[in-house]
Amino acid sequence: MNLTIVGTGYVGLVTGVCFAEFGYSVKCIDKDSKRLEKLKSGKCPFYEPGMDELLDKHINKTKLISFDYTLQNNLNNSDIVFITVGTPTRRLEDEADLSFVWQVAEEIAENINKYCLVVTKSTVPVGTTREVKKIISNKVDEKLFDVVSNPEFLREGSAIDDFIRPDRVVIGTENKKSETIMKNLYRPLFLKETPIVSTSIETSEIIKYASNSFLATKIAFINEVADLCEVVGADVQQVAHAMGIDKRIGSKFLNAGPGFGGSCFPKDVKAFSSTAKKKNVELLIINAVNKSNQERIKKISDKIISNIKKNSTICFLGLSFKPNTDDVRDSTSIKIASKLFEKGYKLQCYDPEAMKNAKNENSNLFFFSSAYEACEGASAIIIGTEWNEFRALNFNKISKILKEKIIFDLRNIYIPEDLKKLGFEYYGTGK
């Protein structure tokens, strides 16, 4: 099968290399010439475990992946074209900005000259895929194409594994022909008995937002329970553990912390609610999840401020929105560090992969090349992201270089008693 993927962001590139891994020939399109040059030389523009190896393999050895900046001449041979461009939140609004999707739809319309499937893989509000169909059918005979919704459920940091071993694949189609082509595309997953959920286009679009919003709800829920635990002297980790054993609840996404961040949850929760509002449906729970998560930054910052002397130096470990990524979009760490800076603290930061992106977000923070260097002379340590390398820090060594022994373990990666024994004043989340 020949595939074309428009947009070489996170979703587009992971999709591209993984389909090449299945043996398909993939053409990736992006207007950003700098990005394309980097990609052509086999360099991934972001950090994702396993990506560099797969890019190198499929550019240089199998030659299944190639790049271009235009769709012109690239649809003649294509069976499926995927739209994987960004759908950021519109400035000062909650809804998704779909302008890139519309541009790609126009470009597809100008270049289709034989039957092909047009698949929306970007996270798009319900109704978008039909709108794409309208745009294309203004210029192209409807016999020459079908539209499909095929959302992705990739997590940054484990995206390749998520693609190759997904919990499920969702395909929203409007006729048998396109359903059959999509099932054929995902045939390599049949061996792994991956459930393929075949739905209407609208249902598929809703599944994506409902899934992300539900996971975000679980996190916001346990974070509020954590607040109560702190006040009454209970332990949220034990609460979550016992709740999670109940199969109806499940143990995943019940880790209390500084709130959810990243390029998906905050944006998708807002967009889901905003789409519903347009249809006169109020998603009260989702609105509350958004509010609860936004207020969390202030709550956590206030807790830190009330326990550390004014104007002191703080060591901040972990700046990405979660481990195993260099992505700092909507990172709770950056937000909390920035708030503390505004209040007059000096921030000595370290992250294994996200320092470059963090510098671009806030150049007022100071950056160091190891956790230990960032600890030097600090009056407190904050662990904002649970990178593996922070899980077994040498606290005997750290004790000697800190000014005061205070730790805010926002992700609950340490046992409080262990650190208290070493003389630390310990603050976790919800315990």
Residues marked active site are found at 264
- Residue 379 CA: distances (Å) to CA of 165, 367, 402, 417: 44, 16, 6, 20
Does position 318 interact with ligand UDX (CB under 6 A)? The reply is no
Q: Does 427 bind ligand UDX (CB under 6 A)?
A: no
What character string, x for contact with ligand UDX (CB under 6 A) and - otherwise, covers 240-279?
Answer: -------------xxx-x--xxx-xx--------------
Is residue 217 involved in binding ligand UDX (CB under 6 A)?
no
Minimum CB distance to ligand UDX, residue 292 (Å)? 12
Binding mask 113-152 for ligand UDX (x = CB under 6 A): ---------------------------------------x
The string of DSSP letters for 287-303 reads HHHHHHHHHHHHHHHHH
Nearer Cβ to ligand UDX (108/159)? 159
Please, what is the minimum distance in Å from the beta carbon of residue 48 to ligand UDX?
10
Our finding on whether 9 is near ligand UDX (CB under 6 A) is no
SS (H, E, C) 88-147: CECCCCCCECCHHHHHHHHHHHHHCCCCEEEEECCCCCCCHHHHHHHHHHCCCCHHHEEE
Q: Shortest Cβ distance from residue 253 to ligand UDX (Å)?
A: 4
Contact 17, 161 (CB under 8 A): no
Size of the site for ligand UDX (CB under 6 A): 19
Q: CA 419, 423, 424, 429 torsion: positive or negative?
A: positive
* 3-class secondary-structure state, position 24: coil
Q: Which stretch binds ligand UDX (CB under 6 A): 21-29, 38-46, 142-150, 212-220?
A: 212-220
Using the rule CB under 6 A, is 155 a contact of ligand UDX?
A: yes
Give yes or no for residue 321 binding ligand UDX (CB under 6 A): yes
> What is d(CA 217, CA 269) in angstroms, rounded to the nearest whole number?
9
Q: Is 430 in the site for ligand UDX (CB under 6 A)?
A: no
Asked whether position 156 contacts ligand UDX by CB under 6 A, the answer is: yes
Distance CA 287, CA 264 (A): 16
How far apart, in whole angstroms, are the C-alpha atoms of residue 26 and residue 46? 20
Residue 313 DSSP code: E
Q: What H or E segment, with its residue span, contains residue 314?
A: strand 313-317
Which residues form the interface with ligand UDX (CB under 6 A)?
Answer: 152-156, 212, 215, 219, 253-255, 257, 260-262, 264-265, 321-322
